[in-house]
Amino acid sequence: MHYGHALTFGTFLTPSARDPGQVVSLATRAEELGFDLVTIQDHPYQPAHLDAWTLLTWLAGRTRRVTLAPGVLNLPLRAPAVLAGAAASLDRLSGGRLALALGAGAFWKAIGAMGGRTLSPGESVAALSEAIDLIRARWDVTGEGPVRLHGEHYHVDGAARGPAPAHDVPLWLGAAKPRMLRLLGEKADGWVVTHQLLRPGQLAQGNRRIDEAAVAAGRDPREIRRLLNVSGDFLGGPGEKWVEELLPLVVDDGVGTFILMTDDAETLERFAGEVAPALREAVERELPGAFRRPLRRAAVRARRREGIAYDDLPETLADTTIEPGDVGYAEVRSTYLRGGAPGLVLRPGTEEEVAEALAFARAHPHLPLSLRSGGHGISGRSTNDGGIVLDVSRLDSIDVVDPARRRVHIGPGARWMDVAAALAPHGLALTSGDYGGVGVGGLATAGGLGFLARKHGLTIDHLRAVRMVLADGSVVRASDHENPDLFWAVRGAGANFGIVTSFEFEADEVGDVGWAQLVFDASDTAGLLHRWGAAQEAAPRDVTSFLLVSPPRRGRPPMAHLMAMVDTADPETILDRLRPLAEIGPLYDQSVVLTSYASVMANASPDAHDGRGEPVTRSAFAEHITPEFAADAERLIRGGAVYFFQIRSVGGAVADVPPDATAYAHRSANFSVTTFGVDRRRVDAAWDRLAEHVDGLYLSFETDTRPERLADAFPPATLRRLRELKAAYDPDNVFRDNFNITPSTTKEPTHA
């Protein structure tokens, strides 16, 4: 009888208040020795003990790897709704290392003396059952409405959900009697029991009771880990004797965790050295290949989507993958601007894992596959409904490999604000976008229209090489010398060709910069747009500014918000450069500071994405802001179809690169124009009227899916070459998420 749980080892330490340093050093020693778990008994009425929760949290700050658990927590003296929040906090602070082991209570006289409620054994089990429901409900941030539970023992009416813990915190119960074992089978994830207190045969009997209750509740008994507190000493005896005694408990009774009850460092050392490894070996000999990752709870499995072979996930990805019933799901389902409900979010942490994740996704060709780095994509669909998301946010390293040559290697999951912060100490910067929360992967394969564009070019112009995983799972490097075709395609159409796992950039030397935010009355919208365009085109390359015009609202005129960066630390030059920009209209407000690129980029909210619905945006490039274009733009802005209208200046160094040098071809444009609206048809109709003034589009800012947009994104020669390369690198069209370039060898899609 076994339940398929990999064997783990823990300690059970006495939280002695007399010498607090001792229990702390035993816990850290246990971690060094390779123990997987540290448990601390909880008797809040016991003055010789430290409070278990406080101590566990302290230990979380002094350890890095071990799981921490009370052994077990005395529920009657802890309010479950508050405990749920405390557990979520501890799990988050510790990086997902909490297991919440609960007990129904014992020593009722002592509990009563503390002001706690005295319950009968039956009542205490019922109270624990309510508490479990309450705790799980507070953690379930995807559930509907606030938490309500009108129980016999706990009454919660409208408590907010959340915070969710960092991982699916297992709920273990200390249990011995039938009622508790039944509850455990119905609701818990682990059974904690002390070997010394069991009669022969009682372990098997307890397992049977738990398993029956689990099955009756529609669960799989393998969801429940069996943890056994064991004690004893070596008394000069050899470790083999321990192995001999413990082995049948694993093989016959399904114990998955042994928790060694000792406060003796030497016993811990000998157990770790002589017993644990030998027992693992013996178990592997007796039950070869029996141990796999633990099953997710039935309640989690119930939220799985159809058509995904969840149980076939490779071991390496299983721990980090998030599925709809998991606690982390709320934070990964949606993106910045788009709501989603993917069936599986794969979060590989290495290049090999990216290849494995891709292979898993390719085994599901009927499902949407979304690629996600920072989750800011407007055009790229980095979430979906019922499909697979391949999220590379864990590949977020930023290494300045050669400061003298300004060479920087960056993972696709890093965010631009973190890149800016990491480069700043070296006097370096990489132009990116206007928001620090954007991920590197999406932006650095599309273009990158940032605040240093006119001086230093696009983000992709700083790319010297990439490593990427192709559709067939192979890993290649692409640069001007290796796979130059691929390197050409990646710089402007990367999402169609593979998953970049590392970008090799050459950064720019950038010191302090001038940063201005000017607010104008834009009543004369067309005039202001035209004057800004002229001033910006006439400006030296060290000035890049973005103009955001918001439509009139409730009696207030249209407003224009200008953000300008001047790449110099000289205050005189900064003011010289800004003067013509400040004269484009009546100023409402202004601020100019000398700051760092990193400070400007540090503007993103730390919250998880929580987008809803679908963004409606359009994008185009313009050579100049002619009076005619400005007049039509004013009509668009005042027409009510759009709520956001932004023009970014480009040109300058961007135009130094020939249009055929990269897949991004819009080199002659001086401006990139973007709008957001609510209603697809209204926005399209209003935007299409600008057609005569504009040309092309910026891949990342366009959500129109009409087929002719592809021709706007890529001029004919570029598109032809991209289709040929697509046929070579991704003939099955695995990467179709962002402006799909269909392979030239496959048939054009037939029109229905």
Partner 1 sequence: MPDYGHDLLFGTFVTPSVSPAHHAVDLAVTADRAGLDLVTFQDHPYQPRFHDTWTLLSYVASRTERIHLSGNVLSLPLRQPAVLARSAASLDLLSGGRVELGLGAGAFWDAIDAMGGRRLSPAQAVAALEEAIAIMRQLWAADRPGGVHVKGDYYTADGAKRGPAPAHDIGIWVGAYKPRMLALTGRAADGWLPSLPYLPGGPSDLADLNARIDEAATSAGRSPSDVRRLLNLNGRFSDTSTSLLNGPPDQWAEELAGLTLEHGITGFVLATDDEYATELFASEVAPATRELVAAERRG
Q: Considering the complex, state which of residue 17 and residue 249 has its C-beta at the smaller distance from partner 1.
A: 17
Rounded CA gap, 442 and 377, in Å? 7
Question: Angle at CA 422, nearest 5°, toward 417 and 427?
Answer: 110
359 binds partner 1 (CB under 8 A): no
C-alpha pair distances (Å), 627 with each of 105, 149, 172, 697: 79, 64, 71, 21
The two three-digit tokens of residue 290, written as one number = 């029996």
Residue number, 237 or 571, with CB nearest to partner 1? 571
Among 47, 200, 201, 555, contact with partner 1 (rule: CB under 8 A): 47
Residue 611 contacts partner 1 per CB under 8 A: no
Select from 35, 53, 191, 664 the one that contacts partner 1 (CB under 8 A): 53
Binding flag, residue 113, partner 1 (CB under 8 A): yes
Query: Which region, judged by CB under 8 A, interacts with partner 1, from 83-91, 382-390, 466-474, 653-661?
Result: 83-91
The least CB distance from residue 593 to partner 1, in Å, is: 12
Checking DSSP bridges between strand 369-372 and strand 67-70, what pairing results, if any?
unpaired
Binding partner 1 (rule: CB under 8 A), the pick from 38, 59, 346, 734 is 59
CB of 22 to partner 1, least distance (A): 11
CB of 605 to partner 1, least distance (A): 9
Does residue 398 touch partner 1 according to CB under 8 A?
A: no
Contact flag: residue 159 with partner 1 (CB under 8 A): yes
Contact between 82 and partner 1 by CB under 8 A: the answer reads: yes
Closer to partner 1 by Cβ: residue 593 or 685:
593
| 106 belongs to the binding site for partner 1 (CB under 8 A) | no
Q: How far apart are CA 194 and CA 198, in angstroms?
A: 7
Chain centroid to Cα 473, Å, comes to 23
Q: Which is nearer to partner 1, 159 or 655 (CB)?
A: 159
User: With CB under 8 A as the contact rule, which of the stretches 71-79, 415-423, 472-480, 564-572 interacts with partner 1?
Assistant: 71-79
- How near is the Cβ of 389 to partner 1 at its closest, in Å? 20
Which of these ranges, 84-92, 207-215, 628-636, 670-678, lies near partner 1 under the rule CB under 8 A? 84-92
Determine whether 637 is exposed, middle or buried from the number of CB atoms within 10 Å of its CB (0-12, 13-18, 19+).
buried
Binding to partner 1 by residue 80, rule CB under 8 A?
yes
Measured at the CA of 314, the angle between CA 311 and CA 315, to 5 degrees, comes to 100
Count Cα neighbours of 152 within 13 Å in the Cβ-side half-sphere. 9
Give the Cβ contact number of residue 488 at 10 Å.
20
Q: Which of 46, 595, 668, 740 binds partner 1 (CB under 8 A)?
A: 46
Nearer to partner 1, 112 or 386 (CB): 112
- Which residue from 37, 38, 60, 663 is in contact with partner 1, where contact means CB under 8 A? 60
Q: Verify binding: residue 157, partner 1, rule CB under 8 A.
A: yes
Q: Which stretch binds partner 1 (CB under 8 A): 60-68, 423-431, 470-478, 583-591?
A: 60-68
Task: Report the distance separating Cα 392 and Cα 439, nearest Å.
Answer: 10
- Cβ proximity of 154 and 127 under 8 Å: yes
Written as six digits, the tokens of 509 are: 């030397």
Stretch that binds partner 1, among 25-33, 89-97, 419-427, 703-711 (CB under 8 A): 89-97
Residue of 1, 86, 106, 728 interacting with partner 1 (CB under 8 A): 86
Q: How many residues bind partner 1 (CB under 8 A)?
A: 57
Tell me which stretch binds partner 1 (CB under 8 A): 3-11, 310-318, 604-612, 634-642: 604-612
Q: Is 145 in the site for partner 1 (CB under 8 A)?
A: no
Closest CB 159 distance from partner 1, rounded Å: 5
Q: Residue 54, interface with partner 1 (CB under 8 A)? A: yes
**162 near partner 1 (CB under 8 A):** yes
161 binds partner 1 (CB under 8 A): yes
Secondary element (H or E) of residue 358: helix 351-362
Q: How far apart are CA 106 and CA 128, in angstroms?
A: 13
Residue type present at position 569: A
Q: Which of 7, 13, 24, 548 binds partner 1 (CB under 8 A)?
A: 24
Residue 77 vs 661, nearer CB to partner 1 = 77
Nearest to 9 by CA among 260, 288, 240: 260
The angle subtended at Cα 627 by Cα 624 and Cα 633, nearest 5°, is 85
For the four alpha carbons of 300, 302, 307 and 312, in that order, the dihedral sign comes to positive
Among 27, 38, 50, 344, binds partner 1 (CB under 8 A): 50
**Residue placing its CB nearer to partner 1 in the complex, 96 or 540:** 96
Q: Supply the minimum distance, in Å, between the C-beta of residue 33 and partner 1.
A: 20
Angle at 370 between CA 96 and CA 709, to 5 degrees: 145
Question: Using CB atoms within 10 A of its CB, is residue 200 exposed (0-12), middle (13-18) or buried (19+)?
Answer: exposed
Toward partner 1, which CB reaches closer, 42 or 434?
42
Q: Cα–Cα distance between 13 and 297 in angstroms, integer? A: 29
Distances (CA, A) of 598 to 264, 272, 426, 439: 51, 47, 12, 15
For partner 1, the closer of residues 113 and 217 by Cβ is 113
CA-to-CA dists, residue 622 to 63, 648, 682, angstroms: 56, 10, 22
44 scored as a contact of partner 1 (CB under 8 A):
yes
Is 107 a binding residue for partner 1 by CB under 8 A? The answer is: no
Residue pair 450/459 in contact by the 8 Å Cβ criterion: yes
The interface region with partner 1, picked from 46-54, 249-257, 344-352, 465-473 by CB under 8 A, is: 46-54
Look at residues 623, 625, 709, 630 and name the one whose alpha carbon lies nearest to residue 666: 623
Q: How far is the CB of 433 from partner 1 (least distance, A)?
A: 21
Question: What's 677-703 look like in SS3?
Answer: ECCHHHHHHHHHCCHHHCECCCHHHCC
Find out whether 297 and 187 touch, Cβ atoms under 8 Å.
no
Measured CA angle at 228 (ends 223, 234), to 5 deg: 145
Cβ proximity to partner 1, 90 vs 184, nearer residue: 90
Residues that bind partner 1 (CB under 8 A): 15, 17, 20, 24, 44-51, 53-55, 57-62, 77-82, 85-86, 88-90, 92-93, 95, 110, 112-116, 141, 146, 154-163, 166, 606-608
